[in-house]
């Protein structure tokens, strides 16, 4: 059953109940809007501390956008991209796209202008929906991307190169479009990136989305009474697919715009949240705030909070032990997944297996796993191999990239590129990544992109970017820089040079040294990680 059917069912069963809440903690708390007021004063253009909509209004807004798209000639198989920060409009727009039979194409809000254009072209996007935070980036490429695409703007003061989403959608029918969807219809394209650093377009069918909802509810037992706090960006498969558990149970979810410890704990208390998905740095920040007295747990209503789960990066067992000291009644889970396997859940620990913290767990609901050697044959327990997964959430392909598709899809099996081992109890532990992608604070950093940028510095002869272990972020990007003979450059100079990079892509450690290459000219990154990884970890522990 396509997930659009689940939304329509919720509108019928729970029409006047709250579906989504948006909290912008940087706004005055007096600026609050109920769903009735939201409907009366639409379009809401000014930011508010709190907004909410019911399931009935959610479905209605999805229908309005779907009908707008259909009026503009969108048909089954077309692609509509979403470039928005988390907001109350995000999910109705997403579902409106799906209701037309078109494919939703969420874009990473960190993308620079050239990356936005690249992804729009790669995915054959017909329409781009974007928000005020992206006016500058979109404007620089508007002449090019607007030649054959519609650009819809969601927000106040619509720029001249786009059309106003809010005024257009308000005049559209709120009736369900008569478009037949099946689980085998194409539904969405998400973006990942391989070792080259160039984004890959990942094509999924409706069955992937529907299965992820079943997986999430099976793993975490969402009921109609649960309240899910969603902090990560909705373009990320992890955030959205965890929310699908709320969709399936018809329960409330809260979109929090901000990840400070105070914001998180206050939202849990005010909205009576029962389930919270965190990244490692956020959990660490909460613990630190409790310890230094910034947060006093007695000031908040937290007894209803039953589950904290973490994904997107390795989880230090010491963190969970520390967490349980302050929240002894919390269930805990960790989730493993890829955008190619429709986000989290193809492997998960399980709330009953906290004694195995450090493992990513076992095959998730409806999934199968294997650990294989270089010939695709299963290895023995205790031996290291590549993790492969199989299930209804495996992607169709990398869109327009047959070569890369054939490298990771082997029959029904998806080769993840992650090296792992299975212990005597059948729990899977990640050992290393085949790919050189660095996961820092839950975000993927692609070394080649950073290396290519650094090589534009005239003083640099060669450069290699690797991940080094970090207690808070999991990993940080370190740049090993080999200067040209006679060149004089300091760490401060490099940091200043990198200011034109997005903050999250800037190397956090600069090392001036020779960059080793093998006989075929490839950088020997395993050797660099061995050289600098252990020393960096020891130095960090000594500082701590």
| Residue 152, C-beta contacts closer than 8 angstroms, at least 6 positions apart | 127, 128, 129, 130, 162, 163, 164, 165, 168
Tell how far CA 15 is from the center of its chain: 29
Tell how far CA 192 is from the center of its chain: 10
- Beta-bridge mates of residue 362: 348
| DSSP string over 379-403 | PPTTS-EEEEEESTT--SEETT-HH
Measured CA to CA, the distance from residue 205 to residue 104 in angstroms comes to 11
Structural domains for the chain: 3-258 (3.40.50.12780), 307-433 (2.30.38.10), 439-543 (3.30.300.30)
pLDDT in tens, 183-197: 999 999 999 854 345
Residue predicted with more confidence, 530 or 88: 88
Measured CA to CA, the distance from residue 190 to residue 486 in angstroms comes to 46
Measured CA to CA, the distance from residue 117 to residue 81 in angstroms comes to 11
Q: How far apart are the first and last CA of the chain?
A: 51
| Residue 354, C-beta contacts closer than 8 angstroms, at least 6 positions apart | 320, 324, 332
The predicted structure's pLDDT at residue 438: 84
What band does 518 get if pLDDT is binned at 50, 70 and 90? low
Hey, what are 254's tokens?
């809260």
| Contact assessment for residue 310 and residue 334, using Cβ atoms and an 8 Å cutoff | yes
pLDDT in tens, 483-495: 988 889 999 999 9
The predicted structure's pLDDT at residue 435: 67
Burial (CB count within 10 angstroms: exposed 0-12, middle 13-18, buried 19+), residue 104? buried
Average pLDDT of the residues in 31-42? 58
**Comparing C-alpha atoms, which of 16, 17, 51 is closest to residue 34?**
51
Hey, what are 241's tokens?
């697919």
pLDDT in tens, 138-187: 999 999 999 989 999 999 889 999 999 999 998 999 999 999 999 999 99
Burial (CB count within 10 angstroms: exposed 0-12, middle 13-18, buried 19+), residue 439? middle
Measured CA to CA, the distance from residue 509 to residue 60 in angstroms comes to 50
290: left (phi over 0), alpha (psi -120 to 50) or beta: alpha
The predicted structure's pLDDT at residue 476: 93
Considering the entire predicted model, what is its pTM? 0.84
CA distances from 20 to 6, 206, 400 (A): 15, 22, 35
Measured CA to CA, the distance from residue 211 to residue 241 in angstroms comes to 10
What band does 19 get if pLDDT is binned at 50, 70 and 90? very high
- Beta-bridge mates of residue 33: 51
Average pLDDT of the residues in 523-533? 84
């Amino acid at each position: 059953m396509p997930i659009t059917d689940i939304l329509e069912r919720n509108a019928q069963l729970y029409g006047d109940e709250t579906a989504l809440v948006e909290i912008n903690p940087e706004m005055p708390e007096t600026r609050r809007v109920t769903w009735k007021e939201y409907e009366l004063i639409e379009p809401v253009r000014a930011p508010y501390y709190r907004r909410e909509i019911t399931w009935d209004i959610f479905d209605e807004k999805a229908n309005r956008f779907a009908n707008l798209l259909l009026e503009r000639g969108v048909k089954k198989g077309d692609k509509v991209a979403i470039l928005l920060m988390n907001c109350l409009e995000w999910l109705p727009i997403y579902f409106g796209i799906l209701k037309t039979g078109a494919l939703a194409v969420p874009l990473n809000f960190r993308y620079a202008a050239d990356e936005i254009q690249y992804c729009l072209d790669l995915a054959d996007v017909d329409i781009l929906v974007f928000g005020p935070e992206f006016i500058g980036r979109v404007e620089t490429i508007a002449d090019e991307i607007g030649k054959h695409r519609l650009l819809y703007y969601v927000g106040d003061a619509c720029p001249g190169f786009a059309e106003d989403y809010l005024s257009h959608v308000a005049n559209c029918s709120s009736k369900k479009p008569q478009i037949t969807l099946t689980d085998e219809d194409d539904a969405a394209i998400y973006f990942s990136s391989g070792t080259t650093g160039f984004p890959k377009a990942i094509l999924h069918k409706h069955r992937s989305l529907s299965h992820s909802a079943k997986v999430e509810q099976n793993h975490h037992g969402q009921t109609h009474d649960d309240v899910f706090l969603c902090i990560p960006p909705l373009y990320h498969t992890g955030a959205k697919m965890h929310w699908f558990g709320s969709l399936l149970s018809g329960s409330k979810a809260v979109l929090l715009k901000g990840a400070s410890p105070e914001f998180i704990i206050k939202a849990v208390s005010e909205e009576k949240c029962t389930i919270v998905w965190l990244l490692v740095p956020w959990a660490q920040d909460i613990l630190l705030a409790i310890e230094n007295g910034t947060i006093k747990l007695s000031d908040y209503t937290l007894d209803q909070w039953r589950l904290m789960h973490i994904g997107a990066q390795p989880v230090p067992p010491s963190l969970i032990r520390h967490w349980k000291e302050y929240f002894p009644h919390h269930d805990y889970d960790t989730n493993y997944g890829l955008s190619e396997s429709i986000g989290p859940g193809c492997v998960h620990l399980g709330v009953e297996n906290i004694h195995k913290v450090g493992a990513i767990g076992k095959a998730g609901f409806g999934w199968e796993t294997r650990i294989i050697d270089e010939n695709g044959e299963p290895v023995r327990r205790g031996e290291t191999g590549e993790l492969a997964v199989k299930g209804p959430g495996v992607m169709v392909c990398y869109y327009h990239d047959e070569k890369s598709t054939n490298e990771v899809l082997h029959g029904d099996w998806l080769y993840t590129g992650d090296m792992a081992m299975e212990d005597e109890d059948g729990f899977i532990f990640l050992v290393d990544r085949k790919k050189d992608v660095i996961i820092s604070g839950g975000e993927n950093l692609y070394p080649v992109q950073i290396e290519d940028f650094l090589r534009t510095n005239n003083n640099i002869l060669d450069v290699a970017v690797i991940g080094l272990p970090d207690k808070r972020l999991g990993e940080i990007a370190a740049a090993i820089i080999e200067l040209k003979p006679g060149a004089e450059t300091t760490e401060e100079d490099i940091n200043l040079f990198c200011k034109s990079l997005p903050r999250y892509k800037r190397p956090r450690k600069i090392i001036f040294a020779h960059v080793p290459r093998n006989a075929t000219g490839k950088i020997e990154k395993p050797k660099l990680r061995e050289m600098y990884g252990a020393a960096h970890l020891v130095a960090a522990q000594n500082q701590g």
